[in-house]
Amino acid sequence: MSSNTARQKKGQGKKPLRPTPGKSPSQPPTSPSVPTSDVAPIFQFVQSVTQVTAGTLLGVTMLTSSVIAGGLVGLAVSFRNLPDVRVLRNYIPAETTYVYDVKGTLLDSLHDEFNREVVDLDNVSPNLKRAVLAIEDSYFFSHHGINPTSVGRAVLSNLEEGRTVEGGSTVTMQLVKNLFLTPERSLSRKIAEAVLALRLEQIFTKNQILEMYLNQVYWGHNTYGAQTAAQSYFGKSAAALTLGESAMMAGLIQAPEDYSPFVDYQLAKRRQATVLDRMVALKWITPAEATDAKNQPIQLGDITSFKASRSPHVTGAVVQELEDRFGQDAVLKGGMRVQTTFDLELQGIAEQVVKTGHSRLLRQGVRADQMALVAVDPRTHFVKAMVGSVDYQQSQYNRAIQSLRQPGSAFKPFVYYAAFASGKTSPDSTIADTPVSYPDGYETYTPQNYGGGYSGTMTIRAALEQSRNVPAVKLGQEIGINRVIEICRTLGIKSPIEPVVSLPLGSVDLTPLEMASAYATFASGGWQSDTTFIVRVTNSSGQILLDNTPSPQMVLDPWAVAALNDVLQGVITNGTAKAANIGRPAAGKTGTTSSERDIWFAGYVPQLSVAVWVGNDDYSPVGQGVTGGKFVAPIWRNFMLQALNGVPVESFAPPSAFVRP
CA separation for the pair 624, 115 (Å, rounded): 52
What is the four-CA torsion angle of 209, 215, 219, 220, rounded to 10 degrees?
-140
Q: Is 511 exposed, middle or buried (0-12, 13-18, 19+ CB in 10 A)?
A: buried
Q: Is 61 exposed, middle or buried (0-12, 13-18, 19+ CB in 10 A)?
A: exposed
Active site residue: 409, 524, 529, 540, which one? 409
Over its C-alpha atoms, the chain yields an Rg (Å, rounded) of 35
CB 180 within 8 A of CB 196: yes
- Up-side HSE of residue 541: CA atoms within 13 Å toward CB? 4
104 CA to centre of own chain: 13
Report phi then psi at 589, rounded to 5. Answer: -150, 135
148 CA to centre of own chain: 46
CA separation for the pair 451, 389 (Å, rounded): 31
Which H or E run contains 79?
helix 57-81
CA separation for the pair 78, 85 (Å, rounded): 13
CA separation for the pair 43, 47 (Å, rounded): 6
321 among known catalytic residues: no
State the CB neighbour count (10 A cutoff) for residue 644.
17
Please, what's the b/e burial string for 371-399 (b: 16 or more CB within 10 A of its CB; e: otherwise)? bbbbbbbbbbbbbbbbbbbbebeeeeebb
Active site residue: 3, 78, 125, 136, which one? 136
DSSP-based three-state secondary structure for 405: strand
Angle among Cα 586, 588, 591 to the nearest 5 degrees reads: 160
Residues near 627 by beta carbon (within 8 Å), at least 6 away in sequence: 450, 576, 590, 592, 596, 599
409 among known catalytic residues: yes
Return the active site residues.
136, 409
